Amino acid sequence: MIPGGPHNQRQMQMMMRRLGMTTEEIPDVEQVIVRTKTKEHIFTSPEVTAMTVQGVRTYQVVGTPEIRPRGAGTLAPPATGPPAAAAPSRAGPPEEDVQLVMDQAQVARPEAIEALLQSDGAPAEAIMKIMTRRR
């Protein structure tokens, strides 16, 4: 609660609308993955809310993550031959990362791939690059 502010949900929503804030609960979310260079934070069946304030969209993820080293527990069988680190430069970024960038930044496939290649395969960084270009 905001001290001295609204005391019920309806008043809070009215105040948020006046300030140009909107919230939207995203239904039926199955999984959210946050990848860092060394770890993956995997939220299964989280509650996800999108909040827009002055045109900037922020996502809130509520749940308990499973934290594991990056690449652990992947669905693909272990590769034989050259190390996996060399694969993205030859074959391009993983399809799920391309799709994520396309969806979040609302861009076409070639632009999503280009941004991922420029950001060394980091989807969040690629999305931020695209979003800052628009300003």
pLDDT in tens, 4-31: 666 788 888 788 888 888 889 999 999 9
Q: Which of 1.10.10, 3.40.50, 1.10.3470, 1.10.8 would CATH assign to domain 90-135?
A: 1.10.8
Q: What is the pLDDT of residues 26-35, one digit of tens each?
A: 999 999 999 9
* pTM higher than 0.75: no
For the segment 73-97, what is each residue's pLDDT rounded down to a tens digit?
554 444 444 444 433 445 678 888 9
Which tokens is 126 given? Answer: 């690629």
**What is the reported pLDDT for 31?**
95
Angle CA(110)–CA(42)–CA(105) in degrees, nearest 5? 25
Phi, psi (deg, nearest 5) at residue 69: -60, 145
SS (H, E, C) the chain: CCCCCCCCHHHHHHHHHHCCEEEEEECCCCEEEEECCCEEEEEECCEEEEEEECCEEEEEEECCEEEEECCCCCCCCCCCCCCHHHHHHHHCCCHHHHHHHHHHHCCCHHHHHHHHHHCCCCHHHHHHHHHHHCC
State how far the alpha carbon of 116 is from the alpha carbons of 23, 69, 75, in Å.
29, 21, 22
Compute the distance between CA of residue 126 and CA of residue 132 in angstroms, rounded to an integer.
10
Please state the domain extents for the chain.
90-135
What's the maximum distance between 2 C-alpha atoms anywhere in the chain?
A: 65
